[in-house]
Amino acid sequence: MTTFLSWSGETSRSFADEFKPWLETVLPGSEVWVSSQDLDKGTIWFTEIISKLQTSDTGVICITRENRLAPWLHFEAGALIKGMGRHRVGTILLDLDFGDLQQPLNQFNGTRVNRLGLWQLVKSLNNMSDRRIMDRVLERTFDKFWPELESAYKLLFPDSHAASRDLLNPVHIAPVPSTSGGILLGQPASKTKRSQKADSGAKRQPRLFNGDDDS
Protein backbone atom coordinates (compact mmCIF):
# COMPACT_ATOMS: atom_id res chain seq x y z
CA MET A 1 0.00 0.00 0.00
CA THR A 2 1.31 3.45 -0.94
CA THR A 3 0.41 6.57 1.02
CA PHE A 4 0.97 9.98 -0.57
CA LEU A 5 2.15 12.46 2.07
CA SER A 6 1.29 16.05 1.16
CA TRP A 7 3.04 19.09 2.66
CA SER A 8 3.75 22.77 1.96
CA GLY A 9 6.15 25.04 3.83
CA GLU A 10 9.22 24.26 5.90
CA THR A 11 7.58 23.20 9.18
CA SER A 12 5.11 20.94 7.39
CA ARG A 13 7.96 19.46 5.37
CA SER A 14 10.03 18.87 8.51
CA PHE A 15 7.18 16.92 10.09
CA ALA A 16 6.56 14.94 6.88
CA ASP A 17 10.24 14.01 6.73
CA GLU A 18 9.99 12.63 10.29
CA PHE A 19 6.61 10.96 9.71
CA LYS A 20 7.58 8.99 6.58
CA PRO A 21 10.27 6.71 8.11
CA TRP A 22 8.31 6.43 11.35
CA LEU A 23 5.17 5.18 9.61
CA GLU A 24 7.12 2.79 7.38
CA THR A 25 8.68 1.34 10.54
CA VAL A 26 5.38 1.00 12.41
CA LEU A 27 3.64 -0.49 9.34
CA PRO A 28 6.20 -2.81 7.72
CA GLY A 29 5.62 -3.28 4.01
CA SER A 30 3.90 0.07 3.55
CA GLU A 31 5.35 2.79 1.31
CA VAL A 32 5.03 6.44 2.22
CA TRP A 33 5.82 8.75 -0.69
CA VAL A 34 6.90 12.31 0.10
CA SER A 35 8.30 14.60 -2.56
CA SER A 36 11.08 16.01 -0.35
CA GLN A 37 12.69 12.56 -0.20
CA ASP A 38 11.34 10.44 -3.04
CA LEU A 39 11.60 12.58 -6.17
CA ASP A 40 14.30 11.06 -8.39
CA LYS A 41 17.04 13.43 -9.44
CA GLY A 42 16.76 14.54 -13.03
CA THR A 43 13.06 13.74 -13.35
CA ILE A 44 10.35 16.22 -14.27
CA TRP A 45 9.12 16.78 -10.72
CA PHE A 46 5.58 17.89 -11.63
CA THR A 47 5.00 14.81 -13.81
CA GLU A 48 6.23 12.46 -11.09
CA ILE A 49 4.09 14.07 -8.41
CA ILE A 50 1.00 13.85 -10.61
CA SER A 51 1.76 10.18 -11.27
CA LYS A 52 2.01 9.44 -7.54
CA LEU A 53 -1.17 11.37 -6.81
CA GLN A 54 -2.96 9.14 -9.31
CA THR A 55 -1.48 5.81 -8.25
CA SER A 56 -1.29 6.03 -4.45
CA ASP A 57 -3.80 4.08 -2.37
CA THR A 58 -4.28 6.69 0.36
CA GLY A 59 -3.33 10.29 1.05
CA VAL A 60 -2.40 12.14 4.23
CA ILE A 61 -2.15 15.95 4.22
CA CYS A 62 0.05 17.71 6.79
CA ILE A 63 -1.64 21.02 7.55
CA THR A 64 -0.29 24.02 9.47
CA ARG A 65 -1.62 27.48 10.11
CA GLU A 66 1.04 28.67 7.69
CA ASN A 67 0.05 26.43 4.75
CA ARG A 68 -3.73 25.99 5.17
CA LEU A 69 -4.38 28.46 2.31
CA ALA A 70 -1.39 27.47 0.18
CA PRO A 71 -2.38 26.94 -3.49
CA TRP A 72 -0.10 23.91 -3.88
CA LEU A 73 -1.60 22.13 -0.88
CA HIS A 74 -5.09 22.78 -2.24
CA PHE A 75 -4.01 21.52 -5.67
CA GLU A 76 -2.75 18.23 -4.21
CA ALA A 77 -5.89 17.90 -2.05
CA GLY A 78 -8.06 18.34 -5.15
CA ALA A 79 -5.99 15.81 -7.08
CA LEU A 80 -6.31 13.31 -4.22
CA ILE A 81 -10.09 13.75 -4.18
CA LYS A 82 -10.24 13.21 -7.94
CA GLY A 83 -7.93 10.22 -7.87
CA MET A 84 -9.17 8.28 -4.86
CA GLY A 85 -12.13 10.13 -3.36
CA ARG A 86 -12.11 11.87 -0.02
CA HIS A 87 -12.83 8.65 1.84
CA ARG A 88 -9.22 7.58 1.28
CA VAL A 89 -7.67 10.90 2.32
CA GLY A 90 -7.04 12.13 5.85
CA THR A 91 -5.40 15.16 7.43
CA ILE A 92 -2.94 15.72 10.24
CA LEU A 93 -3.46 19.10 11.92
CA LEU A 94 -0.11 20.22 13.25
CA ASP A 95 -0.79 23.61 14.88
CA LEU A 96 -4.44 24.46 14.26
CA ASP A 97 -7.91 23.06 14.84
CA PHE A 98 -10.58 21.73 12.49
CA GLY A 99 -12.62 24.92 12.58
CA ASP A 100 -9.71 26.80 11.00
CA LEU A 101 -9.97 24.84 7.75
CA GLN A 102 -11.70 25.83 4.52
CA GLN A 103 -12.65 23.80 1.46
CA PRO A 104 -11.38 21.43 0.25
CA LEU A 105 -9.33 20.66 3.39
CA ASN A 106 -12.37 20.66 5.68
CA GLN A 107 -13.92 17.85 3.62
CA PHE A 108 -11.53 15.24 5.02
CA ASN A 109 -11.50 13.33 8.26
CA GLY A 110 -8.47 14.29 10.31
CA THR A 111 -6.61 14.17 13.58
CA ARG A 112 -4.67 16.33 15.97
CA VAL A 113 -1.28 14.97 16.94
CA ASN A 114 -1.28 12.92 20.11
CA ARG A 115 -0.98 9.22 20.88
CA LEU A 116 -4.68 8.48 20.52
CA GLY A 117 -5.06 10.39 17.27
CA LEU A 118 -2.01 8.88 15.57
CA TRP A 119 -2.96 5.41 16.80
CA GLN A 120 -6.32 5.77 15.06
CA LEU A 121 -4.57 6.93 11.89
CA VAL A 122 -2.20 3.96 11.95
CA LYS A 123 -5.07 1.53 12.57
CA SER A 124 -7.04 3.05 9.70
CA LEU A 125 -4.12 2.63 7.30
CA ASN A 126 -3.53 -0.91 8.57
CA ASN A 127 -7.17 -1.85 7.97
CA MET A 128 -6.86 -0.74 4.34
CA SER A 129 -3.69 -2.73 3.73
CA ASP A 130 -3.63 -6.09 1.97
CA ARG A 131 -1.02 -7.12 4.56
CA ARG A 132 -3.06 -6.30 7.65
CA ILE A 133 -1.31 -6.71 11.01
CA MET A 134 -3.25 -7.87 14.07
CA ASP A 135 -4.11 -4.90 16.29
CA ARG A 136 -2.40 -6.30 19.38
CA VAL A 137 0.85 -6.78 17.45
CA LEU A 138 0.57 -3.41 15.76
CA GLU A 139 -0.04 -1.62 19.05
CA ARG A 140 3.12 -3.04 20.59
CA THR A 141 5.15 -1.70 17.65
CA PHE A 142 3.30 1.62 17.77
CA ASP A 143 3.99 2.05 21.50
CA LYS A 144 7.67 1.27 20.98
CA PHE A 145 8.16 3.95 18.33
CA TRP A 146 5.55 6.56 19.31
CA PRO A 147 7.97 8.44 21.62
CA GLU A 148 10.25 9.12 18.63
CA LEU A 149 7.50 10.84 16.63
CA GLU A 150 6.18 12.64 19.68
CA SER A 151 9.65 14.04 20.42
CA ALA A 152 10.02 15.29 16.85
CA TYR A 153 6.57 16.91 16.98
CA LYS A 154 7.28 18.52 20.34
CA LEU A 155 10.50 20.00 18.96
CA LEU A 156 8.78 21.41 15.85
CA PHE A 157 5.51 22.51 17.49
CA PRO A 158 6.07 22.86 21.26
CA ASP A 159 2.92 24.91 21.95
CA SER A 160 0.67 22.66 19.88
CA HIS A 161 2.17 19.57 21.46
CA ALA A 162 1.24 20.86 24.90
CA ALA A 163 -2.29 21.76 23.74
CA SER A 164 -3.06 18.45 22.01
CA ARG A 165 -1.20 15.95 24.19
CA ASP A 166 -4.15 15.15 26.46
CA LEU A 167 -7.05 15.64 24.04
CA LEU A 168 -9.61 12.85 24.49
CA ASN A 169 -11.22 13.40 21.08
CA PRO A 170 -8.41 14.23 18.65
CA VAL A 171 -10.14 12.64 15.63
CA HIS A 172 -12.59 14.72 13.62
CA ILE A 173 -15.09 13.17 11.21
CA ALA A 174 -16.07 15.62 8.48
CA PRO A 175 -19.83 15.86 7.87
CA VAL A 176 -21.19 14.94 4.47
CA PRO A 177 -23.43 17.65 2.98
CA SER A 178 -27.01 16.40 3.05
CA THR A 179 -30.51 17.85 2.88
CA SER A 180 -31.33 15.88 6.00
CA GLY A 181 -28.36 17.15 7.99
CA GLY A 182 -24.75 16.11 8.41
CA ILE A 183 -23.95 12.43 7.96
CA LEU A 184 -20.70 11.05 9.24
CA LEU A 185 -18.35 9.60 6.66
CA GLY A 186 -18.77 5.87 6.34
CA GLN A 187 -21.86 5.72 8.55
CA PRO A 188 -25.49 5.26 7.49
CA ALA A 189 -27.85 8.10 8.35
CA SER A 190 -29.81 5.95 10.81
CA LYS A 191 -26.73 5.57 12.99
CA THR A 192 -25.48 9.15 12.91
CA LYS A 193 -27.00 10.44 16.17
CA ARG A 194 -26.21 7.25 18.03
CA SER A 195 -22.63 7.29 16.79
CA GLN A 196 -22.15 10.93 17.73
CA LYS A 197 -23.37 10.17 21.23
CA ALA A 198 -21.04 7.20 21.52
CA ASP A 199 -18.07 9.22 20.29
CA SER A 200 -18.65 11.83 22.98
CA GLY A 201 -17.80 9.22 25.59
CA ALA A 202 -14.19 9.19 24.34
CA LYS A 203 -13.93 5.45 24.93
CA ARG A 204 -13.80 4.72 21.21
CA GLN A 205 -12.53 7.06 18.55
CA PRO A 206 -13.73 7.00 14.93
CA ARG A 207 -11.34 5.82 12.24
CA LEU A 208 -10.07 8.22 9.61
CA PHE A 209 -10.91 6.33 6.43
CA ASN A 210 -14.00 4.58 5.11
CA GLY A 211 -13.93 0.81 4.94
CA ASP A 212 -12.76 0.30 8.51
CA ASP A 213 -14.35 -2.41 10.61
CA ASP A 214 -15.54 -1.88 14.17
CA SER A 215 -12.98 -4.10 15.88
Domain boundaries, the chain: 2-199
Helix axes 71-84, 45-55, angle to 10 degrees: 40
What is the pTM (predicted TM-score) of this model?
Answer: 0.81
Distance set, CA 153 to CA 147, 187, 191, 192 (Å)? 10, 32, 35, 33
Query: What is the predicted pLDDT for the residue at 166?
Result: 92
Fold category of 2-199 in CATH: Rossmann fold (3.40.50)
Band of pLDDT at residue 171, cut at 50, 70 and 90: very high
Quick check: 190 pLDDT over 80? no
